[in-house]
A and B are shown apart, each in its own frame.
Chain A
């Protein structure tokens, strides 16, 4: 199911070796590849972009300073995400943005009359909004895990490393998030059926 993109990680290791032997171009290539993903990930912990930029500069500079003493890593990407997570959390005392949102807008959007429920497009929309809301209300570490898994394509092992958890905990987090999806899916099938029955009944 999870296939690590080999070409990608091979290139990462080439850059890593390049940095270890003092090639500036390798640092530039690695930074260019990961700057945006690391920046985006950091925005989950702080809204202060200047702060994120400082942490990213520090991260790549410290990698450059280490050169030969840079550890040989299994996953360069996981190393970078682990490091930036640590730096950001260390330097900011703010709450993480993975926290559940205040959901006043969504609640209003969901307040739709029963008649309109019969319209299947609206119905899809409501299901999607409810799913979105459920996911936003997941505990922050679960949200972080699904972000890393589905958006950043990290493996369970890599997520465990980045978040400092053991693999089983990561698996549980992801399982729980998927249950949220399944719950909505089942509800979705059920209401779809109801709508269909109602259609026949009224029609």
Chain B
């Protein structure tokens, strides 16, 4: 038997790849006997074996426990996400082991809406003002008339970073069933996860529905196109419905996953899906590695936050020179991150009236 005849033999392959185990018993007996009777095949069998093992290459050992753990997690997700999926299910923090947090996909979405002013004013019943009028509860509006980004903390603790000229309206307390906000202009959102209370952003004629995630919306007041860009995770996008509901319509809903985007044109039945330019994508791994700190001086930690969130933190670097931080932050929102960072060093932070974050030193960390 030549080496090639041996590798083409399925039983021989099974024997090579599964040398132990009950299932391989018959193969093992057959080949061991054959080679004992025909020692002249021994060398060829070794060559064939080497060929097959090289073809397989090195594979990591995956314990049964690990595999069944992953399958269990999958089935839990199927259980909780039997309805259309928008988000990774979230277990309350107290019950959530750290590892699960590390694995849970953080979701980042970018929504962009382009404007063509030559299209003229939008029809009055489809814009920001009109949508706001239909809100069931009185709304508070925050606008950014300055040039620096303005941070807003929503009633549920979610973060909104308004860019120049953007406006957001939201109720003093959200409805029990859903969190609805209205946006005009560009804003970054970081939504506190709560599967029981979906978060809906109405921007121009597009509804973006998430359970807990972060995303940016560019929704200028007038314009026929709106674009939604998803960084990681899942998000539902659909045109604003005549009767607003937290449940997306069965048709015309576009589901976006990592690095996909949807462009919606005024009047179209649904958004058009496409992939995001690979050059502008951010992987969760890259983000996680930025938020892994090992005896990192606090000013460097603040710089990371400033860079990632594109905001300016107000603090006096001299107050924190002796403070270092060792921790790993992943799916926390900005406010949660700041809670961890300041609590571990005795510092505090607050949101100034003009929407900046100010860090105040504690007793110091000598």
Question: Could you tell me which A residues sit within 8 Å of B by CB distance?
Answer: 1, 3, 24, 27-28, 31-32, 35-36, 39-40, 43-44, 48-51, 53-54, 56-58, 60-61, 64-65, 90-91, 93, 97-98, 124, 127-128, 131-132, 135-136, 143, 146-147, 149-151, 153, 177-178, 181-182, 184-185, 188, 192
Contacts and interface: CB of A to CB of B under 8 A. Distances in A.
A25 B75 CA distance: 9
18 contacts: A27-B75, A28-B75, A31-B74, A50-B102, A51-B285, A53-B70, A57-B73, A58-B257, A61-B81, A90-B259, A91-B258, A98-B57, A127-B47, A128-B46, A131-B47, A132-B50, A149-B55, A151-B17
Contacts of A54: 103, 105, 284
B47 A128 contact: yes
Given A35-B67, A35-B70, A24 B78 contact: yes
B70 A181 contact: no
A65 B62 contact: no
A49 B55 contact: no
* Nearest 7 pairs of A and B residues by beta carbon: A135-B54, A128-B50, A146-B55, A151-B56, A132-B54, A40-B59, A150-B55
Contacts of B278: 93
Given A24-B78, A124-B43, A39 B57 contact: no
Interface in B2-26: 2-4, 7-8, 10, 13, 17
Contacts of B54: 131-132, 135-136
Q: Is the interface of A mostly helix, strand, loop or mixed?
A: helix
Interface in B259-300: 259, 278, 283-285
Contacts of A131: 47, 50-51, 54
B77 interface: yes
Interface in B53-70: 53-57, 59-60, 62, 67-68, 70
Given A43-B60, A181-B47, A185-B44, A57 B55 contact: no
Interface size class of chain B, counting residues whose CB lies under 8 Å from the partner chain:
35 or more
Given A1-B8, A40-B59, A58-B257, 7 more contacts: A31-B74, A49-B60, A128-B46, A136-B54, A147-B57, A151-B56, A181-B47
B84 interface: yes
Given A40-B59, A65-B84, A135-B54, A150 B67 contact: no
With most chain A CB atoms within 10 A of its CB, the pick from B54, B57, B68, B77 is B54
B62 to A, nearest CB: 6
A60 B74 contact: yes
A105 B285 CA distance: 32
B60 to A, nearest CB: 6
A191 to B, nearest CB: 11
- Which of A24, A50, A93, A151 gathers the greatest number of chain B CB atoms within 10 Å? A151
B85 interface: yes
A147 B77 contact: no
Contacts of A146: 55
Contacts of B59: 40, 43
